Amino acid sequence: MSSANGAKPAHGIASKLFDLTGKTVVLTGASYGLGEMMAKGLASAGADLVLAARSKDSLEAVTSECAALGVDATPVVADVSDEYDVKRIVDAAIERHGKIDVLVNNAGISDMRGLPAENFDMETFRRIVDVDLFGAFMLARDAGRHMLAAGSGSIINICSIMASGANELNVIAYTGAKGGLLNLTYQLGCEWADRGVRVNAISPGFIVTPMTAPALDALGVSEYIASRTPMRRVGNAEELLGPLLFLASDASSYVTGLNLLVDGGTNASNGYYQIRPGHHGWGEMLGAPTVGNTFEGLAPLPERLVPWTGGVPGIHYSMPSEAGE
């Protein structure tokens, strides 16, 4: 295929869009969970890495695995809620590479106690905000100074679907902190837009990590989440890599202030039902062709909702007899 002026498109241009060779990426929360997957994925795209977390042994193990992929990888044992530690992370990147091209604010904590808001303690609330919001801001601020001086950079804040909506898990501090981080993303994305620094968010839905899978499967939470997700399943860690590489690389050079939801459609819906709506059966009952709905619901339909055979008086249109009518 040729372009309008007859020139052939450069071979391999698409794969180069996501190439991070020669880029320095600072990634927090790299010792396990989603951060471990991100570290290896960024290394496989060619990025040199500065990896931060508190657990020394796990962090060093992930660093070694990344280095084995042929990139320069440096571990920095640090707590992102500590301003001095944040400075050490940024200084380590500048001393080793002289620049920071990409910052991924992934370190985060939540709270699985299920406490209702009216009983929530301020010690836990402050700790979650300290790590998820203040930590991410301090890193953005300190790394951002170097990026602004260089006139380029990409910051990616790992938020959550809980940053832009409520849920039933009773995690008021997490919801508040991630909501703050998303608004901070919008603010920085605009404030630094004309100085070459892009700031975006990735908001995962519910992702099973090796660490969370056993507990969540045991509690059945995965099944609840899947039932209210339009794709009717939870996500896999690897499904975050494409969005991450997109925002980290020049593929997104005109994208800033974006909240990239990776959530199986959750945020697009205004609430998906956990039992199958009764009128889904109308087409079958009336003999009309239907497009299959694979979701059978978490529970059998309550008796009073089952026989909607006659439709709803006054608003029931007749069913088409063939597809497309």
Contacts with ligand NAP by CB under 6 A: the residue count is 28
Q: Is 87 in the site for ligand NAP (CB under 6 A)?
A: no
- Minimum Å distance from CB 38 to ligand NAP? 9
According to DSSP, the β-strands at 235-236 and 207-208 are parallel
Kindly provide the residue ranges of all beta strands, DSSP E only, lying in the chain, ordered along the sequence. Answer: 24-28, 48-53, 73-77, 102-105, 153-158, 197-204, 207-208, 235-236, 259-262
Contacting range for ligand NAP; rule: CB under 6 A; set: 11-19, 33-41, 193-201, 278-286 = 33-41
Q: By CB under 6 A, tell whether 28 contacts ligand NAP.
A: yes
For this structure, is 224 an active site residue? no
Of 180, 174, 176, the C-alpha closest to 157 is 180
- Rounded to a whole number of angstroms, the minimum distance from the CB of residue 109 to ligand NAP is 5
Mask: binding to ligand NAP, 111-150, rule CB under 6 A, as x and -?
--------------------x-------------------
Distance separating alpha carbons of residues 282 and 288, to the nearest angstrom: 8
Catalytic option among 32, 84, 174, 224: 174
Is residue 243 involved in binding ligand NAP (CB under 6 A)?
Answer: no
Would you put residue 324 in left (φ > 0), alpha (ψ -120 to 50) or beta? left
**What are the structure tokens assigned to 30, written together?**
């790299």
Residue 294 parent element (H or E): none
Asked if 75 is part of the footprint of ligand NAP (rule: CB under 6 A), the reply reads: no
Pick one of 63, 74, 106, 185: the residue that binds ligand NAP (CB under 6 A).
Answer: 106
**Buried-state track 233-245, b at ≥16 Cβ within 10 A, e below 16:** ebbebeebbebbb
Catalytic center residues: 174
Residues at the interface with ligand NAP (CB under 6 A): 28-35, 53-55, 79-81, 106-110, 131, 158, 160, 204, 206-207, 209, 211-212
